């Protein structure tokens, strides 16, 4: 068996019940269920922040702020932000 590192975690009661049920149904230790879940995190959250995209969006938002109050109202609509 590979070297393991001990971790202590806190679970909500419903999570503990779920963990116990899954371990019992699969015939494995609760720790094994947790290890499998940790391995799946990469697949669940493939998001990788893209610094260049964020900087471009930040520049766009800053340009809107620099316009300041516009006589007669702003020149953009909230929906315009969602279309970007």
Which one, of 15, 40, 45, lies nearest residue 30 by Cα? 15
**What does the pLDDT read at residue 31?**
96
**What does the pLDDT read at residue 5?**
94
pLDDT digits (tens, 9 = 90+) for 30-55: 999 999 999 888 777 767 778 899 89
Average pLDDT of the chain?
Answer: 88
- List the domain boundaries for the chain: 13-44, 51-82
- Read out DSSP for 32-52? HHHHHHHHHHHHH------HH
The whole-angstrom separation of Cα 72 and Cα 27 is: 68
């Amino acid at each position: 068996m590979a070297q393991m590192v001990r971790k202590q975690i806190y679970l909500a009661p419903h999570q503990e019940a779920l963990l116990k049920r899954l371990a019992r149904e699969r015939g494995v230790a609760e720790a094994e269920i947790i290890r499998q879940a940790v391995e799946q995190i990469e697949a669940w959250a493939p998001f990788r922040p893209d610094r260049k995209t964020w900087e471009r969006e930040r520049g766009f938002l800053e340009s809107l702020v620099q316009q300041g109050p516009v006589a007669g109202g702003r020149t953009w609509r909230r929906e315009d932000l969602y279309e970007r």
